[in-house]
Amino acid sequence: MSAKDTINAIEERSLFELAKHDAVAAERSGYSDYSYWRSTLAVFLKNRFAVAALLIMVVLIAFTFMQPFLPNQKDPNLIHINPETGRQLRNVPPSQEYRFGTNSIGQDLWARIWLGSRNSLLLALLVSIVRVTVGIVVGALWGYVRRLDRLMTELYNVLANVPTTIVYTLAAYILRPSLRTMIIAMTILGWLPMARFIRNQVVIIRDREYNLASRCLGTPTSRIISRNILPYLVSVIMLQFALAIPLVIGAEVFLSYIGLGLPYHVPSLGNLVNQGRQLMLIKSLRYQLIYPSIVLSLITISFYVMGNAFSDAADPRTHV
């Protein structure tokens, strides 16, 4: 009781005392030790699913790229032959020797799946980088430069309506089917949705009240871009990038399905799933569909969850 009274007495007294002017203390009022990336990391680490997805992703990617250097690995394109009968070891079920079995012409499915993941990841990564980079540059111009808006919108409407199958067919005709052809075919119009997305984001936030306020206060444009707009866009760009990877892998699976995929000697998750699909009605051979599907799903889900969580964490509105 008495302690509280004392405190009250002190507070009451201080209310009526003139405070001394301290220049340093006055400056200190606006100070906080906020750091964008530290807060992003803190929010991200708080999300258990995200950390798990990140872990799965890192382990998967590391294993995918380390697999050829591990002992006792087989050549993914070597057709295994039974030394006694001289015939191909076709459709051998999973065993000690062939961990995921062999496929319909006697190749080791285990080695093919990891090479396939490598190829698919490489494809996805390169395609996503090109799509996101071109998309950001074009989208930012489209959004900022008002004179370009009409022209770009028209251009978008035209290009977005050209069926992508024609582009893929043309690419397959002009260039030989290969990983490089696939990358070119998937990027040549693939940046369109990204450009539209960035354009819409720029249009939405360029006239937000806080940007308007900054402009009224005479903040230079460069500072508005770097402080007001970019931190907001970092999160959506990272999200788009992380989501582009499952998307590209899925597109590759689809292209394999319609017969425009990679050639047989370049295994990818797409053509592995597709080869498994052709045997799926035979129950004992279903493992050839199930194993690639599991690896594929683990990769795409971990990228998806991770991307979402990261974009959430990178959004300044979630920071405290």
Residues forming the site for other proteins (CB under 8 A): 47, 49-50, 149, 153-154, 156-158, 160-163, 165-167, 169-170, 173, 196-197, 199-201, 203-204, 207, 212, 236, 239-240, 246, 249-250, 253-254, 257-259, 273, 277, 280, 286, 289, 293, 296-297, 300-301, 303-305, 308-309, 311-312, 318
Q: At closest approach, how far in Å is the CB of 36 from other proteins?
A: 18
Rg (Cα) of the chain, in Å, rounded?
A: 28
Nearer to other proteins, 115 or 171 (CB): 171
Q: What distance, in Å, lies between the first and last C-alpha atoms of the chain?
A: 36
Least Å from the CB of residue 69 to other proteins: 29
Quickly count: other Cβ atoms within 10 Å of residue 52's Cβ: 14
Closer Cβ to other proteins, 89 or 171, answer by number = 171
Shortest Å distance, C-beta 231 to other proteins: 14
121: closest CA among 164, 177, 77, 60?
A: 60
Q: What are phi and psi of 108, to 5 degrees?
A: -75, 115
Q: Which one, 106 or 139, has the nearer CB to other proteins?
A: 139
Nearer to other proteins, 106 or 143 (CB): 143
| CB 295 to other proteins: min, Å | 11
Give me the amino acid identity at 152.
M
CA-nearest of 211, 209, 201, 266 to 234 is: 201
State how far the Cα of 80 lies from the Cα of 102, in Å rounded to an integer.
9
Q: Which residues contact 128 (CB under 8 A, 6 or more apart)?
A: 241, 244, 245, 248
CA 52 to chain centroid, in Å, comes to 16
Give the contacts of 43 (CB within 8 A, at least 6 positions apart): 312, 313, 318, 319
Nearest-approach distance from CB 292 to other proteins, in angstroms: 9
For residue 195 the two structure tokens come to 């450009």
Kindly state the smallest distance separating residue 31's Cβ from other proteins, in Å. Answer: 29
Min separation Cβ 75 and other proteins, Å: 27
**Pick from 220, 245, 233: nearest CA to 307:** 245
Question: Smaller CB distance to other proteins: residue 266 or 309?
Answer: 309
- Residue 267's region, left for phi above 0, alpha for psi from -120 to 50, else beta, is beta
Nearer to other proteins, 79 or 134 (CB): 134
Q: Of 8 and 153, which has the nearer Cβ to other proteins?
A: 153
